[in-house]
């Protein structure tokens, strides 16, 4: 990738990041009914800082994955079953943010101790770190399930992939639950558990594709025995 192409990718990344920040903020504060919500601002601040630091680092070290991650979540090569699962994940995440605002601020249904909110913030930071090291290691970590033959898709077994077969999904566990805790909503936490179940299903179906279509993946799966959580599953 040339420097000019990298600059275009960086500009697109910044615009897309700020757009997602604006959308997420609008959802959170509209559902809360106020902008006076420290936890909401803390979530947006941590998300923005993590995204910018990670994105700018990737632009220098692995710009191809940054370009790939910004592609549409609906692609021609994508497996048909993956599209409804992605819609369910996007929809569930939107509902989680709405419910958090309604629950923690507007109606006050939940009570979350401060130490759990801090734990949620730490889990969120850890999740962003996991996402970052996964993308540094794996240039084929597409947002959709597909075999990227155009870019010479191959099995990646180093870095976090030496511990679990789906480290990006493992990070999502901390992201979903950490966000709910930071925002102070037990109802959002329950939605986070549902989202984890969806990504676990996606991991199983994705592996069927990889074992059938990606040379060497079946052997890799026999060596790295856990999908998401070492010692558990």
CA atoms of 6 and 227, how far apart (whole Å): 33
End-to-end CA distance of the chain: 38
CA atoms of 174 and 201, how far apart (whole Å): 17
* CATH node for 3-223: 1.20.120.1630
What backbone phi and psi angles, to 5 degrees, belong to 105? Answer: -120, -60
Burial of 204 (0-12, 13-18, 19+ CB in 10 A): exposed
pLDDT of residue 66: 84
Nearest residue to 100 via CA among 119, 120, 86, 85: 120
Instruction: Locate the domains of the chain by residue range.
Output: 3-223
Q: Does 149 or 166 have the greater pLDDT score?
A: 166
pLDDT in tens, 23-82: 999 999 999 999 999 999 999 999 999 999 999 999 888 888 888 788 777 787 788 899
Instruction: Place 1 in a pLDDT band, splitting at 50, 70 and 90.
Output: low
Alpha helices in 62-113 (DSSP H): 63-69, 82-101
**pLDDT above 80: residue 3:** no
Nearest residue to 127 via CA among 83, 190, 179: 179
pLDDT in tens, 181-232: 999 999 999 999 999 999 999 999 999 999 999 999 999 999 999 999 998 9
- Residue 203 and residue 166 in contact, taking contact as beta carbons nearer than 8 Å: yes
Identify the sign of the CA torsion 194, 174, 123, 119.
positive
**pLDDT above 70: residue 135:** yes
CA atoms of 86 and 136, how far apart (whole Å): 23
Nearest residue to 185 via CA among 49, 40, 35: 40
pLDDT in tens, 14-28: 999 999 999 999 999
- Name the residue with tokens 């077969």: 165
pLDDT of residue 71: 78
- Name the residue with tokens 């240039």: 139
pLDDT of residue 153: 85
pLDDT of residue 70: 80
- Residue 95 and residue 25 in contact, taking contact as beta carbons nearer than 8 Å: no
- Name the residue with tokens 């995440």: 93
Alpha helices in 138-185 (DSSP H): 167-183
Instruction: Place 136 in a pLDDT band, splitting at 50, 70 and 90.
Output: very high
């Amino acid at each position: 990738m040339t420097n000019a192409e990298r600059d275009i990718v960086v500009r697109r990344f910044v615009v897309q990041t700020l757009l997602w920040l604006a959308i997420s903020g609008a959802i959170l504060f509209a559902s809360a009914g106020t902008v006076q919500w420290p936890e909401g601002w803390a979530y947006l601040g941590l998300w923005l800082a993590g995204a910018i630091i990670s994105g700018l680092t990737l632009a220098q070290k692995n710009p191809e994955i940054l370009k790939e991650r910004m592609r549409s979540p609906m692609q021609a090569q994508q497996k048909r079953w993956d599209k409804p699962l992605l819609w369910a994940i996007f929809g569930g995440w939107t509902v989680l943010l709405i419910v958090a605002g309604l629950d923690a601020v507007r109606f006050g249904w939940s009570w979350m101790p401060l130490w759990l909110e801090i734990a949620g913030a730490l889990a969120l930071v850890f999740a962003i770190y996991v996402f970052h090291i996964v993308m540094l290691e794996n240039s084929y970590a597409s947002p959709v399930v597909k075999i990227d033959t155009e870019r010479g898709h191959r099995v990646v077994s180093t870095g976090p992939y030496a511990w679990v077969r789906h480290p990006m999904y493992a990070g999502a566990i901390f992201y979903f639950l950490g966000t709910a805790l930071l925002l102070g909503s037990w109802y959002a936490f329950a939605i986070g558990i549902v989202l984890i179940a969806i990504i676990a299903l996606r991991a199983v179906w994705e592996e069927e594709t990889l074992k059938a279509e990606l040379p060497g993946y079946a052997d890799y799966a026999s060596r790295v025995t856990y999908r998401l959580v070492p010692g558990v599953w």
